[in-house]
Amino acid sequence: MESKIHQAAAQHPTAEIHVVMTEDELVKKIPQLNSARFFDELESTNDFAKSAFKLADLSFPFIIFTSTQTKGRGRAGKSWDSSDGSLTFSLGISSAECPIPPPLISVVFGLAIANTLNRRCDIPICKIKWPNDIYANGKKVSGVLIESVPANHRGIIIGCGINANNSFLISSSSNWVATSFADETGKEIDIKELMAEIVEAFFFRVNEYLTICQDFAMIPEPVLADYQAIDFLTDKRITLQIGKEIIVGSYVGIRVDGAIQLEVCNEIHAFHSGSIVKIES
Amino acid sequence: MSNENASDVKVFDVDTIRKFVELMNEHELTEVDLQQSDQKIRLCKKDLVAAPVAQYAAQPAPAAAPAAAVSDTPAADSANISVVTSPMVGTFYSRPKPESPNYVKVGDSVSAETVVCLLEAMKTFNELNAGVSGKIVEILVNNEDAVDVNKPLFKIDTSQ
């Protein structure tokens, strides 16, 4: 399939930044990668990736990149639409080759994003909020959503959205909690180079994980230590919503199995699911 | 562009909860249920065995790519009823997106490959197959319910 990026660049002068790297160049740059497809517009990179996986249309690991995403999704169907300058892609991997439980892949991928963005800052500004949201100077800059396709297919799709060069500075909403890397640093990023660095960092982490880990269901100590070093929730009071239930407690870190731990009524409890709906200092 | 906005979600504030805890202590209450619109909080004394917070505490980590778990028939059901249970701790979603119809409803015929729900843990969404062929005769949980490992989710009549 031919890339439509050159056509996109002709239509949008700002798309110049997108033509730097081709699909083939990306595959050559990342040894673990087998295929890549770039689009100028998709409804959802995750939906496209899931279809490709089920049809065995692409050899994995693969990347689906789009310049514009029109029906992106976050948790519980919340929208994540990408505008000009944001980075939106999905990485498809085989669970046979990456036997880490998907919830822990979620943590490892979030860490790869935060560390990659921080390497581009003079002073690190990105932190990770359980399980994998990335915050820059206290505002959300990136989200990750992972989907497993049914067991017989054994595929894991990692959907990633990063506010890179788009801007929120003119947003009229006083409650807006999102930001972009460019807003916070004044720097523009080649978004395909950023994507390549994140995926390389992720594969490096996976290799480290599989090399030193005796039990894949537990986060290795070096990974956990790196997570703790940029943990956005440290010393915060958290309100966690699980279904219709609300739990309020003091954050005491993530557990080795990735669960969030809250101190409630002088006891520490761990939770694998739920959405953080309030954070207080 | 994210539309997620944590501050939009209204919950009971901490001062209110503290007042209720003081009242619980004053009147030696062990459990109080509070509800505001569709949000509710249950306050329990920590030595209460069935405290709702504790029920999530000691569960195993979600497994990789969970396979549908179909258990043998519960005693009260006929021999043809299979129960699909949750292979992981997480949140049950009956539909792929909030605006979508449910994956399945009572009366639907399913094959072993039919996706019957999503299970979510740590922003990882897992499609769950029925695991057996038959007709859905009962759905045992509600959309967005928290589920434990082995929690019964569906009853499927395999004779149909």
Closest residue in A to B56 (Cα) is: A271
Note the pTM of the prediction, 2 decimals. Answer: 0.76
How far apart, in whole angstroms, are the C-alpha atoms of residue A12 and residue A112?
30
With pLDDT > 90 as the criterion, what percentage of chain A qualifies? 60
Last residue of one domain, picked from the residues A190, A208, A228: A228
Instruction: Give the pLDDT band (50/70/90) at residue B3.
Output: very low
* pLDDT at A101 (0 to 100): 87
Q: Identify the weakest region by mean pLDDT among A167-171, A189-193, A202-206, A275-279.
A: A167-171
* pLDDT at A70 (0 to 100): 84
A86 and A204 in a single domain? The answer is: yes
Rounded average pLDDT over A141-158? 84
A160 and A53 in a single domain? The answer is: yes
* pLDDT at A125 (0 to 100): 96
Among candidates B3, B125, B118, B4, which has minimal Cα distance to A145?
B125
A77 and A198 in a single domain? The answer is: yes
Last residue of one domain, picked from the residues A228, A244, A263: A228
Instruction: Give Cα separations from A31 to A20, A62, A203, A215 (angstroms).
Output: 19, 11, 10, 26
Interchain pair B122, A95: CB under 8 A: no
* pLDDT at A52 (0 to 100): 85
A175 and A259 in a single domain? The answer is: no
With pLDDT > 70 as the criterion, what percentage of chain A qualifies? 85
Q: Which domains does chain B have, with CATH numbers?
A: 1-45 (no CATH), 50-157 (2.40.50.100)
Q: How confident is the prediction for chain A on average, in pLDDT? A: 85
Residues of A in contact with B37 (CB under 8 A): none
CATH number, position A247 = 2.30.30.100
Q: Look at A54 and A249; give whichever has higher pLDDT.
A: A249
A89 and A208 in a single domain? The answer is: yes
A243 and A151 in a single domain? The answer is: no
* pLDDT at A55 (0 to 100): 78
Kindly give the pairing relationship between strand A245-254 and strand A260-264: antiparallel
How far apart, in whole angstroms, are the C-alpha atoms of residue A267 and residue A224?
22
Greatest mean pLDDT range, A44-48, A150-154, A199-203: A199-203
Range of the domain at A263: 233-280
Instruction: Give Cα separations from A143 to A161, A252, A254, B26, B71 (angstroms).
Output: 5, 22, 18, 45, 36
A180 and A246 in a single domain? The answer is: no
Residues contacting A273, CB < 8 A, separation 6+ = A242, B89, B90, B91, B120, B121, B122, B146
Interchain pair A148, B65: CB under 8 A: yes
Model confidence at A126: pLDDT above 50: yes
Structure tokens at B69: 């778990």
How far apart, in whole angstroms, are the C-alpha atoms of residue B37 and residue A125?
38
Q: Could you tell me if A233 and A130 are in contact, meaning their C-beta atoms sit under 8 angstroms apart?
A: yes
A182 and A244 in a single domain? The answer is: no
How far apart, in whole angstroms, are the C-alpha atoms of residue A192 and residue A170?
25
Q: Could you tell me if A75 and B2 are in contact, meaning their C-beta atoms sit under 8 angstroms apart?
A: no
- Interface pTM, i.e. ipTM: 0.80
pLDDT digits (tens, 9 = 90+) for B111-144: 998 999 999 999 899 889 999 999 999 999 999 8
A220 and A245 in a single domain? The answer is: no
Among candidates B153, B160, B133, B140, which has minimal Cα distance to B69?
B153
Rounded average pLDDT over A178-195? 93
Rounded average pLDDT over B61-85? 63
Residues of A in contact with B115 (CB under 8 A): 150
Structure tokens at A117: 């963005």
Model confidence at B40: pLDDT above 80: no
Q: How far apart are the first and last CA of chain A?
A: 50
DSSP-assigned beta bridge partners for residue B60: none
CATH number, position A84 = 3.30.930.10
A250 and A184 in a single domain? The answer is: no
Last residue of one domain, picked from the residues A228, A245, A262: A228
Q: Could you tell me if A64 and A90 are in contact, meaning their C-beta atoms sit under 8 angstroms apart?
A: yes
Instruction: Give Cα separations from B8 to A139, A194, A278 (angstroms).
Output: 15, 31, 9
Helix axes A221-229, A191-212, angle to 10 degrees: 140
CA distance A269 to chain B (A): 5
Residues of B in contact with A102 (CB under 8 A): 62, 64-65, 124, 126
Nearest to B144 among A74, A148, A244 (CB): A244
A148 and A276 in a single domain? The answer is: no
- Residue in the block written with tokens 């080759």: A97
Closest residue in B to A129 (Cα) is: B122
How many CA atoms does the CB half-sphere of A101 hold within 13 Å?
A: 26
How far apart, in whole angstroms, are the C-alpha atoms of residue A23 and residue B127?
30
The 3-class SS string of chain B reads: CECCCHHHCCCCCHHHHHHHHHHHHHCCCCEEEEEECCEEEEEECCCCCCCCCHHHCCCCCCCCCCCCEEECCCCCCCCCEEEEECCCCEEEECCCCCCCCCCCCCCCEECCCCEEEEEEECCEEEEEECCCCEEEEEECCCCCCEECCCCEEEEEECCC
Instruction: Provide the domain count of chain A.
Output: 2
Cis-peptide, bond into residue B60, ω within 30° of zero? no
pLDDT digits (tens, 9 = 90+) for A211-260: 887 788 889 999 999 999 999 999 999 999 987 789 999 999 999 999 99
Interchain pair A156, B113: CB under 8 A: no
A136 and A248 in a single domain? The answer is: no
pLDDT digits (tens, 9 = 90+) for A69-125: 887 666 555 555 566 789 999 999 998 888 888 889 999 999 999 999 999 998 999
Residues of B in contact with A82 (CB under 8 A): 1
